[in-house]
Structure 1
Amino acid sequence: MTLTADLFWSFRSPYSYLAVGRYRALAASHDVMIKLRPVYPLAIRQPDFFERNHPNWLSYTMRDMIRVAQFHGIPFGPPRPDPIVQNVTTRAIAADQPYIYRLTRLGQAAARRGKGLAFAHEAGQLIWGGVEDWHLGDHLAGAAGRAGLDLGELDAEVVADADALDTEIAGNQVALEIAGHWGVPTLVFDGEPFFGQDRIEMAKWRMEQKGLRAR
């Protein structure tokens, strides 16, 4: 029997990126279907989040995400550009956000086709893997193609169906909170949330208790 799980995920979250490839590999090697459920990042949902954090939060997070990537051998570089336009000094979030809405809607459109996990992984490797100007040229088209998708088709849907996509994305956020968490990456399996890139093995362990088998 194929197991199912939901992965709540953000294109701006470095830890989401550090988790998605490993979850994709798990879905490829084992009899589990992991459905991507993208949400808007905290910078959009709670713009004052960064202002309220301890001053050490950002520097520690930067150090930690780099060593996690090194530990797992995952390519990692600063996003160029950042999916969120933010003042590095003041941490203020800009009113104009040209990237994150398109990315998140693209992710939801991919999820509608059952290929959200693959698209998130491929796009994440561009954004967080150090590709400069990932938003220009054919970078995203290549990512979509590697996920078995057509970027032109996705972008057309993002424009024509933006409100419905945003309603689905908002529903993802509600579902995440109902499941017992608020942050990403969170995998929800059998009603149980597993938050963070360091809970993948524990999520797999729980799935094995419920009958997870290698393909």
Structure 2
Amino acid sequence: MAGGLNAKSMATHWYFDFISPFAYLAWPRVRALAARHAIELRPIMFAGLLGHHGHKGPAEIPSKRTFTYRHVLWQAKRRGVPLAFPPTHPFNPLLALRLCLAAGTTPEAITEIFDWIWAQGRAVDSPEAIAPLAAALGVTDPAALSSPAVKETLRANYDAALAAGVFGVPSLVVDGEIFWGEDAMDFAEAFLADRTLLSTKEMQDAATWPVGASRT
């Protein structure tokens, strides 16, 4: 993907998991951005990040779960985006992540998988459930989803996310700066357009404010 929003080249990566409805909502905008700026698309296992950082997922806190689902439904309706929840949530996204990699992590494959889960409300958490989607993406050999190359790439993506300090999905990482969440896209694009955005004293101070209390 050629082109850019800035005269200087920036390394940009988008970390996402199909389990996240916010990643689904963010994807059309990320795809449009990727058409004019080089972005490496990196599927990762969100549960791994939660375990590493000792976080609970939004769906693991009952009141947050209800709010999150309502917020997603409201956002989708406001934007005119189709949204149908899959049969269960959270679900195990491993097969969907592996399918994405086996299909080449192309924008077309990512769109198809997101739409299968979040526009059509279909399951991906068993070989039987994901088989029609895999066939539509040209991945007809079930063994492709467990190939060493696919497993190694998924692990490498996860390791890269940890090395970059990623703590949630979706996250757009631009030259080492993390823009987390679907609602950070304006912030990310502003940084892409003006590389000095985070260089002001106020922005620099945000990284060094003292901690007054902490949990043990």
Name the TM-score, length of structure 2 as normaliser: 0.71
- Do the aligned partners of residues 199 and 103 (structure 1) sit closer, same or farther apart at CA in structure 2, a change above 3 Å counting? same
1:25 aligns to 2:32 (yes or no): yes
Tell me: higher relative CO, structure 1 or 2? Use CA pairs within 8 A at least 6 residues apart: 1
Larger radius of gyration: 2
Can you list the C-alpha shifts for 1:63-110, whole angstroms capped at 9, x where unaligned?
A: 1111121222211011135571xxxxxxxxxxxx5xx32211112233
CA deviation after TM superposition for structure 1 residue 197, in Å: 0.5
- Do the aligned partners of residues 83 and 34 (structure 1) sit closer, same or farther apart at CA in structure 2, a change above 3 Å counting? farther
User: Which of 116, 119, 141 matches 2:109?
Assistant: 119
State the distance in 2 between where 1:52 and 1:125 align: 21
User: Which of 81, 94, 100 matches 1:107?
Assistant: 100
The aligned length equals 182
CA deviation after TM superposition for structure 1 residue 181, in Å: 2.2
Q: Which runs of 5+ in 2 are unaligned?
A: 196-216
Can you list the C-alpha shifts for 1:155-211, whole angstroms capped at 9, x where unaligned?
A: 44323x1x442232222222222222221000111111110001112211111225x
CA RMSD of aligned residues (A): 3.0
1:158 aligns to 2:151 (yes or no): no
- Do the aligned partners of residues 137 and 179 (structure 1) sit closer, same or farther apart at CA in structure 2, a change above 3 Å counting? closer
Can you list the C-alpha shifts for 1:45-70, whole angstroms capped at 9, x where unaligned?
A: 64993599543111111111111212
3-state secondary structure, aligned to 2:34: helix
CA deviation after TM superposition for structure 1 residue 136, in Å: 5.8
Q: Is the 8 A contact 1:6 1:188 kept in 2?
A: yes
Q: Which residue of 2 aligns with 1:213?
A: none
State the distance in 2 between where 1:190 and 1:51 align: 28
Q: Is the 8 A contact 1:9 1:16 kept in 2?
A: yes
Q: Which residue of 2 aligns with 1:129?
A: 119
- Do the aligned partners of residues 103 and 44 (structure 1) sit closer, same or farther apart at CA in structure 2, a change above 3 Å counting? farther
User: Which of 168, 191, 196 matches 2:176?
Assistant: 191
3-state secondary structure, aligned to 2:84: coil
1:60 aligns to 2:53 (yes or no): no
Name the TM-score, length of structure 1 as normaliser: 0.71
State the distance in 2 between where 1:151 and 1:204 align: 34
- Do the aligned partners of residues 83 and 72 (structure 1) sit closer, same or farther apart at CA in structure 2, a change above 3 Å counting? same
Q: Is the 8 A contact 2:50 2:167 kept in 1?
A: no
- Do the aligned partners of residues 18 and 53 (structure 1) sit closer, same or farther apart at CA in structure 2, a change above 3 Å counting? same
Q: Is the 8 A contact 1:24 1:121 kept in 2?
A: no
